[in-house]
Amino acid sequence: MKQPLLHSLLVACFWFGLSTAQHAQTGTPKYDPLGEFDDLPKQIRVQVEFIDVSHEQLTGLMFGPKGSPNDGELRKQVAQLVKDGKASIVETMLCIARSGQKAQAASIEEAIYPTEYEPASMPAKVEFKNKKEAEAAKVNPRDLAIGPAPTAWETRNVGPTLEIEPTLSEDNKTIDLRFVPEIVYHVGNTVWAEWKDQYGKTLVQMPKFYTVRVNTSVTLAAGQYLMVAAVSPKNKDGATDFSRKLMIFVKADVLSVGR
């Protein structure tokens, strides 16, 4: 090797080492295996999916030995079913929280309905100024009856709701997640009584709701899918449809603030 070339290489190595040392002294963030900067604040983004498949498809997907340490491959198979029109994505919910803190995301309609009624009754006493006024009124006792009146109310949130409480490990690789994903449907009303008078008809009824919900705690590898449950959805009449299943997947990503 010629002397000038050797000298140039030595100078380049010196300046590269000096630049590296200066960056280390000024606190350049260290890059971790997950692709995140270790010394930046972290947040956790939780993604939950409800995917509708047939009962037979679920049995086929879950049959046999597992080919992966996580459910990423299973999620790919389900994605192919969706692409082929053999499955459908019912709902996807996302929510971000800091480690150790609770958060909630919801897309709801508030269904307000009566839960208690004052029963129908007759007035204790009806008074007229004189007999002539009473005869002119021609009162039918049934016309004086007072129908059932609601006295107490409740509110039910109809739609999807996701509650999360993630806790990030010290090495930023795993997340302990407590979460409650749920979808509530209003599927109809049940009539308990019927009231008729000269003004029309009133129904004493209560709403019927159908709920799919998971309430659990899991440990996740950051960025990897996990199928946490399979539940039965409702059919067109609002009853349980045992011929289909909702596969519920969850994934938690670690996000660095300011990156």
Cα R_g (the chain), whole angstroms? 32
**Which pLDDT tens digit goes with each residue over 143-155?**
667 778 889 999 9
Give domain status of residue 249, yes or no.
yes
Give domain status of residue 44, yes or no.
yes
- Taking a C-beta distance cutoff of 8 angstroms, is the pair 109, 103 a contact? no
Structural domain of 54: 39-111+157-256
**200-213 and 216-221 strand pairing:** unpaired
Give domain status of residue 138, yes or no.
no
DSSP single-letter state for residue 147: -
Mutual angle of helices 55-62 and 72-83, in 10-degree steps: 150
- Total-model pTM: 0.75
Give domain status of residue 21, yes or no.
no
Residue that is written with structure tokens 């389900």 in the block: 78
Among 20-29, 47-56, 121-130, 197-206, name the one with the lowest average pLDDT.
Answer: 20-29
Instruction: Work out how many domains the chain is built from and give that number.
Output: 1
Report the 10 Å Cβ neighbour count for 43: 17
Give domain status of residue 2, yes or no.
no
Give domain status of residue 25, yes or no.
no
Rounded to an integer, what is the distance from CA 60 to the centroid of its chain?
26
Give domain status of residue 20, yes or no.
no
Q: pLDDT higher for 123 or 51?
A: 51
Give domain status of residue 96, yes or no.
yes
One-letter identity of residue 70: N
Q: Which two tokens stand for residue 24?
A: 């280390």
d(CA 68, CA 171): 23
**Which pLDDT tens digit goes with each residue over 115-154?**
988 877 766 666 666 666 665 556 565 666 777 888 999 9
